[in-house]
Amino acid sequence: MTEIYKFGGNWTEEKLKRLEKYLKAYATIMNKQNFRFAYIDAFAGTGYIEEKKNKTDNQIYLFQQNDIKEIETYSKGSARIALEIKPEFDKYIFIEKSRKHFTELLKLKEEFKDK
């Protein structure tokens, strides 16, 4: 299983949504051209990011519970988003300084063997 790590802020989710929309449009346009095109990510990460969100719990419990619970949710990181885009890029180049994150990218590479 790919390790999840934390980075960014509240803006990260919005940035990743915009990246996905852009990559879909870009890949569609470039796929119609007579040349090959690549996706290059200089800060590739691990493929997933962890986000924590607060949730109000309205259930009634037999024993006292906290009113607010912190929930861990996971979002796709930029590397995974790019690998899932259709039509596909001709080549993917992921650059990662962290040896730990690089190891996780190798797991992602195994998952997407056909790319």
Helix, strand, coil shares, percent, the chain, to 5:
35, 25, 40
- Residue-averaged pLDDT of the chain: 80
**Beta carbons within 10 angstroms of residue 79's beta carbon:** 25
Question: Would you state the pLDDT for residue 22?
Answer: 98
pLDDT bucket at 68, cuts 50 / 70 / 90? very low
